Amino acid sequence: MIEAIYTFPSNFLWGTATASHQVEGENTNNDWWLWEQELGRIRNGHRSGKACEWWAGRWKEDFDRAATDGQNAHRLSLEWSRIEPMPGQWDHNAIERYREIIKGAIDCGLKPMVTLHHFTNPIWMVEQGGWLADEIVEWFERYTRLVVGELADLVELWITINEPNVFGYEGFLNGGFPPGGGSMRELYQAMRNMVLAHAASYHSIHEIQPEASVGVAHHYRGMNPARMWSPLDRWVTNFRSRTFNDSFPQAVSTGQFHMMGRRERFPQAANTQDFFGLNYYTTERVTFDLRKPTELFTRGFFPPDADLSPGDFIANEPAGMWKALQWAHGFGLPIYITENGVEDAEDRIRPRYLASHVREVWRAVNFNWYVRGYFWWSLVDNFEWERGWTQRFGLWELDVETQERRRRSSADLYAEICKANGLSTDMVARFAPQAFRSIFPGASLEKPEDQIAS
């Protein structure tokens, strides 16, 4: 086989992403911990418990694995409830621990990207109204200032809020996340407060650390009309995508927040991103459905021939990554893929998912778009929110009881990609032969001598 390789720029960041509550363990002072104690909230009654024991020190062995496998960056998040256990009271031991973890990452060659808010909230903050209270903007700014003041010498890449849309819809409309759903009005209120909190946080970071690079991790869900010929399906797809995908990024780009027919101007939120963080997982078909008021009278589903993850949660749709990148590129900022991944305990679909998605990222790079890095979700299996431990996203498998880690074959593939700073025909032939033709359409799996003979 003639070797071909899709090569990335020399300073490209290759990493994995994690979030505090999903990996640290014993996060007893936030709303998710309380939520997990309630009957029926988490699949199979699972709890985060000790998670991956990062707080107890196992971050070190996981970072070592990542670094040995050629990664040069890691995205992690800080647990607000540890840093500020009571309003205005700072736990300096917790901050010290985060310094140690972040320094540990740097020492083994992983550039840190740090998220300030990844779904979880201190209990005191929720008791005072959480994201529906207007004071959240001040609270988030105060927390930002403290953290950035303490960590600016170690961290250059900051994410203020992870997936405002997923957090908003799950928490304030659908109810999969605490506080357990509400109404369109509450969703709007939470989202607008996130726009304002992000803007305040962005400006404070730059005041303290002018050279910092700050963004949001935006979740983009690919959506195609179920029936292309149906004007109604086309209209609702467009509406669902605009509401879910576009409202937040538009607001922090233009300063105009527009959602579900309401519009507000927040000039302080205009141009408050230095890079565009993109989380992409999958693409769905969308149709009109009167029975789905909480989904804005739309219904998303995967087609019968989709290449689905074992829990039917994610369809392997790399074309959607390309669309997501085109969309992100439209914001005119450097792009980091801040999450991309698939749940797959058996590692059956992960290798082809990984290779196919990396190939789409390369296409964007090849157009000279400013794609700066790629963070796979995730390094090791971790607590998957309302789906508990039933979904496994890790390059490394975790035995939750013994804390033993076992390498999946996708870890080998990702290590080869990171070390080569590219994706080659040889890698795809060995790890994801089913995707070979779509990834390298011009190449042949056969050896040249076989080709001549045939």
**Chain positions contacting ligand GAL, by CB under 6 A:** 19, 22, 162-163, 166, 219, 279, 339, 377, 384-385, 393
- Residues 218 and 163: beta-carbon distance below 8 Å: yes
Q: CB nearer to ligand GAL: give 204 or 279.
A: 279
Minimal distance, residue 414 CB to ligand GAL, in Å: 16
Minimal distance, residue 238 CB to ligand GAL, in Å: 23
Q: CB nearer to ligand GAL: give 164 or 225.
A: 164
- Residue found under tokens 């074309």: 319
Handedness of CA 290, 295, 298, 303 (dihedral sign): negative
Minimal distance, residue 342 CB to ligand GAL, in Å: 9
Q: CB nearer to ligand GAL: give 197 or 365.
A: 197
Q: CB nearer to ligand GAL: give 75 or 240.
A: 75
Minimal distance, residue 6 CB to ligand GAL, in Å: 25
Minimal distance, residue 382 CB to ligand GAL, in Å: 8
Q: CB nearer to ligand GAL: give 220 or 440.
A: 220
Minimal distance, residue 76 CB to ligand GAL, in Å: 11
Minimal distance, residue 59 CB to ligand GAL, in Å: 17
Q: CB nearer to ligand GAL: give 129 or 310.
A: 310
Of 386, 388, 432, 382, nearest in space to 410 by CA: 432
Residues 6+ apart with CB under 8 A from 251: 195, 257, 258, 266, 269
Structure token digits, residue 287: 């149709």
Minimal distance, residue 389 CB to ligand GAL, in Å: 12
Distance in angstroms (rounded) separating the CA atoms of residues 139 and 347? 42
First-to-final CA distance of the chain: 14
Q: CB nearer to ligand GAL: give 255 or 277.
A: 277
Per-residue burial over 51-89, b if 16 or more Cβ lie within 10 Å, else e, is: bbbbbeebbeebbebbbebbbbbbbbbbbbbbbbbeeee
Minimal distance, residue 281 CB to ligand GAL, in Å: 7
Q: CB nearer to ligand GAL: give 112 or 341.
A: 341
Minimal distance, residue 62 CB to ligand GAL, in Å: 16
- Residues 21 and 118: beta-carbon distance below 8 Å: yes
Q: Which residues pair with 219 in a beta bridge?
A: 279
Nearest residue to the partner ligand GAL, using Cβ: 19
Q: CB nearer to ligand GAL: give 24 or 339.
A: 339
Minimal distance, residue 280 CB to ligand GAL, in Å: 10
Q: CB nearer to ligand GAL: give 384 or 416.
A: 384
Distance in angstroms (rounded) separating the CA atoms of residues 394 and 125? 31
Q: CB nearer to ligand GAL: give 163 or 284.
A: 163
